[in-house]
């Protein structure tokens, strides 16, 4: 049994695909398949079941994977500890993030961190909050920055970084654009341009506007703004995201005032790698100093 075989198995199980796992690991797909087959022969059990659409993990594979991931975590932790003794900062950091939210610019934070720690290989994956938290939970990601409250997830821990005000956006000619403030109960029945399934903002929007009709869905903020500006429907968005777009949109605060939390999240009860711990400290220092705040229009 070789360490690389364990890493191959873990990657295939996470990706549910030999092709995707080979791309992640930068190895040939044939080599990946051969090594997994060797591991299966050595253990005497089938670990993965190949179908026409995806790869499924067998019951025996799930048992093996649980130990494999603990083993890989220990190996990575050992390397990190030795690097710490040597005064080095190396390894990898896998972040789940989103576009700029509020006074927080994840890209700025990542760029600063990589300049300070060139030995750390940083990768950033962008997706809806539900998907990012799932990948954090299963070990695919080390940290996530998302528009969610970290207290809502038992297996995860974190810290609330900021709160951003949620505002209504409409086309300038929309009837609600005439009001200085819009009561939440006046949104009932409005056609809505919503975020895609799994988005934290979609959950907030549907919670505040349960009787509204969804006329379009998108995860890209530019697309949502354009659809709203064209008069298709209304939407809710963090104020900082639309602060510079008031020429094409009517932006109105809500009554009562609504905010969304921005949190940095990690797995609970697990010692972070030195790279993850360093990035966490970097984010907190940046937020406390306010140096990530963008200039408002």
Q: List the domain boundaries for the chain.
A: 3-84, 91-161+264-289, 163-261
Phi, psi angles (nearest 5°) of residue 130 = -60, -45
According to DSSP, residue 221 is labeled H
According to DSSP, residue 149 is labeled -
The verdict on pTM exceeding 0.85 is no
The per-residue pLDDT string of the chain (297 residues; one tens digit each, 9 = 90 and over) reads 888 888 889 888 888 888 888 888 888 988 888 999 999 999 999 999 887 778 889 999 899 988 888 888 777 777 766 666 555 466 788 999 866 666 677 888 888 889 888 888 898 988 888 889 888 888 889 999 988 876 667 788 999 988 889 999 999 999 999 999 999 999 988 999 999 888 888 888 888 988 889 999 998 888 999 999 999 999 999 887 787 666 789 999 999 999 988 899 998 888 788 888 889 999 998 888 765 544 333
Long-range contacts at 214-218 (CB < 8 A, ≥ 24 apart): 215/191, 217/193, 218/193
For domain 163-261, give the fold. Answer: D-Maltodextrin-Binding Protein; domain 2 (3.40.190)
Cα distances from 127 to residues 27, 70, 99, 110, 162, in angstroms, run: 25, 26, 10, 17, 20
Rounded Cα distance between 294 and 208, Å, is 28
pLDDT for position 47:
92
Rounded Cα distance between 163 and 173, Å, is 29
- Do the two domains 3-84 and 91-161+264-289 of this chain adopt the same fold? no
Q: Which CATH number fits domain 91-161+264-289: 3.30.70.260, 3.40.30.10, 3.40.190.10, 3.40.50.410?
A: 3.40.190.10
pLDDT for position 295:
37
pLDDT for position 86:
55
pLDDT for position 291:
59
96 closest CA partner among 59, 136, 67:
136
Rounded Cα distance between 203 and 209, Å, is 10
Q: What is the CATH number of domain 3-84?
A: 1.10.10.10
- Give 18's contacts (C-beta < 8 A, 6+ positions apart): 12, 29, 32, 33, 50, 55
* Sign (positive or negative) of CA dihedral 17, 18, 19, 22: positive
Helices (H), the chain: 3-15, 18-25, 29-43, 59-85, 106-116, 129-137, 200-208, 221-229, 239-242, 274-289
According to DSSP, residue 177 is labeled G
Cα distances from 235 to residues 220, 232, 238, in angstroms, run: 13, 10, 10
């Amino acid at each position: 049994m070789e360490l690389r075989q364990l890493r191959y198995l873990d990657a295939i199980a996470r990706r549910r695909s030999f092709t995707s796992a080979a791309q992640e690991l930068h190895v040939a797909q044939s080599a990946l398949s051969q090594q997994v087959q060797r591991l299966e022969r050595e253990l005497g059990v089938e670990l993965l079941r190949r179908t026409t659409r995806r790869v499924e993990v067998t019951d025996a594979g799930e048992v093996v994977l649980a130990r494999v991931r603990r083993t890989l975590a220990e190996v990575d932790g050992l390397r990190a500890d030795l690097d710490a003794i040597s005064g080095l900062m190396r390894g990898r950091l896998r972040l789940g993030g989103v576009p700029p939210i509020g006074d927080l610019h994840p890209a700025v934070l990542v760029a600063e961190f990589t300049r300070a720690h060139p030995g750390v290989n940083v990768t950033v994956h962008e997706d809806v909050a539900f998907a990012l938290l799932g990948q954090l939970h299963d070990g695919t990601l080390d940290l996530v920055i998302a528009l969610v409250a970290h207290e809502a997830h038992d297996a995860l821990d974190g810290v609330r970084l900021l709160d951003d005000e949620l505002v209504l956006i409409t086309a300038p000619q929309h009837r609600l654009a005439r009001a200085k403030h819009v009561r939440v109960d006046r949104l009932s029945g409005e056609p809505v341009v919503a975020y895609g399934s799994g988005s934290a903002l979609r959950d907030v929007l549907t919670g505040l506007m349960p009787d509204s009709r969804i006329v379009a869905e998108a995860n890209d903020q530019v697309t949502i703004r354009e659809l709203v500006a064209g008069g298709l429907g209304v939407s809710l968005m963090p104020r900082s995201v639309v602060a510079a777009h008031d020429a094409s949109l009517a932006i109105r605060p809500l009554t009562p005032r609504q905010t969304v939390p921005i949190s940095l999240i990690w797995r609970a009860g697990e010692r972070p790698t030195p790279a993850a711990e360093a990035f966490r400290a970097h984010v907190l220092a940046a937020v406390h100093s306010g140096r990530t705040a963008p200039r408002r229009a």
